[in-house]
Amino acid sequence: MGTRDAARALLKAADAAMAPDPAAPITSAPRPRPAAPQAVAQAAQKIQATRHGVKAGSKRFGEAMWGPVVKVSGIVWLEVTGVLFSLFAIAAAMEIWRRRADFHATGEPRRNLYIAIGMLLVFGWFTVSSFLRARRRAQR
């Protein structure tokens, strides 16, 4: 009999714990749930906003991650092309030095001298402009 009374007391205590507090203030009526089309529209708006946020965030991450790499690789590429152009300019300068005595001569050697001078001017400009563009890009 004692076990039955203990079990009943335990069940009453469990029911009392599950019951709402009678001393609690009465709250307003439960909020009505939005209609199904409104809920679907709200969910679609949230999905759209999330998609837009993820897209913008991934774009900013890509810029932050790859931006410095792109900048440095562009600078290095301009410097490498400047060095290659300078090799052609140096070869043209050596040809001019070798043919300096032919400057007053006529015929074929003089024509080669003018070609070497033109090459020196063109590749010299390419060399200088490549290094200037690399310097400007590095300062940005």
On whether the CB atoms of residues 102 and 110 are closer than 8 A, the answer is yes
Residue of 137, 139, 96 whose CA lies nearest to 120:
96
Place of tokens 């203030």: 25
**Residue-range domain boundaries for the chain:** 81-140
Give pLDDT tens digits for 66-105: 888 888 999 999 999 999 999 999 999 999 898 877 776 6
| Dist. CA 61–CA 67, nearest whole Å | 9
Give pLDDT tens digits for 101-126: 777 666 666 788 889 999 999 999 99
The neighbour count for residue 8, using CB atoms within 10 Å, is 10
Q: pTM for this one?
A: 0.56
SS3 25: coil
Alpha-carbon Rg for the chain, nearest whole angstrom, is 42
| Dist. CA 96–CA 62, nearest whole Å | 50
